[in-house]
Amino acid sequence: MHLSWRHGYRVGATLAVLLALLAMLGCGARGLAPVDDRGYGPAPPGYYRIRSGDTLSEIAERKRISMRKLAAWNGLGPPYPLYTGRLLRIEPPQAGRRSASARQVAARSSPKTATQSATTPTSQSTGKPSAKTSAKTSATAKPGSSARASGVNWGWPVVGPVVQRYRSNDRTRQGIRIAAGPGTPVAAAADGTVVYSGSSGLAGYGNLIIVKHSPSYLSAYGFNRRVLASEGATVKRGQQLAEVGQAADGQPMLHFEIRRDGATVDPLLFLPASR
């Protein structure tokens, strides 16, 4: 019933990139993060210095440039990873010249190499438990015990048996998988805004929906046969987002994740004990 180890690892790692990027949308709800110019000079004309928490869509909106153009000018493709401190071209390249990527420009103009990765949260101390501590807590905590602290009113996205549990140290098990018949309605686990809807580009992963519930919390729904909620839509807990599809091995199920500040957490600690 499981994906092969290599396929599962690749899927988990790539999804982590996409979710970590979208998790940064939470910073936008509280205003732009302060610029950190340590080791960096001012951005040259036609470029923007990427700040902690920036996303391509937010930059495009602030600069009143289409996201498609920004991506093309900077040689970026989905999931459009950005790196704190590096440069992003915000004006079209000169006629007849191909745009250099943000990484290439940053390498020429920055006195040091940024170490921020799109697969990890921004390097700021949050005072929250480490992954090891969270793993131990997850093993002993009761179902739904973290729901109140999250400030989000969680509900089950589908009703069915959990056929795969979460493991914090296993890239192939960064969420839970719930068996359900093909076409079963997939519901939003909580109120929020759809920040991604469509094909994730991951072979065998199906269509993906990601919902932002607060500046810290996101939920992800994979293996969908059909998506019904579009990006930017405001959804309510229990509202249908999609229809259950199938995993790579043909088994009908939903892949479900909850992420806090970009890091996966055990969904069973947030979902109600009773369905």
- In 3D, which of 262, 242, 244 has the Cα closest to residue 197? 242
- Please tell me whether residues 91 and 131 are part of one structural domain: no
pLDDT digits (tens, 9 = 90+) for 159-208: 999 999 999 888 778 899 999 999 999 999 999 999 888 875 555 567 88
In terms of Cα–Cα distance, which of 15, 33, 2, 32 is closest to 219?
A: 15
**What number of other Cβ atoms are within 10 A of residue 13's Cβ?**
14
On whether both 173 and 261 belong to a single domain, the answer is: yes
Residue 66 in any domain: the answer is yes
Helix%, strand%, coil% for the chain, nearest 5: 25, 25, 55
Strand partners, 253: 179, 245
For residues 144 and 60, which has the higher predicted lDDT (pLDDT)? 60
What is the pLDDT, as a whole number, of residue 27? 40
Domain count, the chain: 2
More confident residue, 248 or 185: 185
46 with 81, same domain?
yes
Asked if residue 144 and residue 19 are part of one domain, the reply reads: yes
Give pLDDT, residue 177.
Answer: 95
Query: CATH no. for residue 105?
Result: 3.10.350.10
- For residues 101 and 181, membership in a common domain is answered with no
Q: What is the CATH number of the domain that holds 237?
A: 2.70.70.10
pLDDT at residue number 14:
56
> Is the domain of 181 the same as that of 91?
no
264 and 141 both lie in a single domain: yes
* 118 found inside a domain: no
> What pLDDT, on the 0 to 100 scale, is given for residue 135?
46
User: Is residue 16 classed as helix, strand or coil in its secondary structure?
Assistant: helix
Q: Are 160 and 245 part of one and the same domain? A: yes
Distance CA 175, CA 113 (A): 33
Tell which of 60, 81, 109 closes a domain.
109
User: Quick check: is 115 in a domain?
Assistant: no
pLDDT at residue 28 greater than cutoff 90? no
Residues of the domain holding 225: 5-24+126-269
Confidence (pLDDT) at 127: 40
Whether residue 17 is found in the same domain as residue 38: no
Residues 223 and 141 in one domain: yes
Structure-token match 């040091």, residue found: 112
Q: At which of 45, 78, 109 does a domain end?
A: 109
Domain check: are 236 and 192 in the same one? yes
Q: Is residue 67 part of a domain?
A: yes
* Mean pLDDT value of segment 127-137: 44
Asked whether residue 101 is assigned to any structural domain, the reply reads yes
User: Which of 46-55, 171-180, 196-205, 225-234 is the least confident region?
Assistant: 196-205
The helix or strand, by DSSP H or E, that contains position 225, with its residue range, turns out to be strand 217-227
Residue 158 has pLDDT above 90, yes or no: yes
**Is a pLDDT exceeding 60 seen at residue 35?**
no
Whether residue 92 lies inside any domain: the answer is yes
Q: Please identify, among 80, 109, 138, the residue that sits at the C-terminal boundary of a domain.
A: 109
152 in a structural domain: yes
In a domain, 248, yes or no: yes
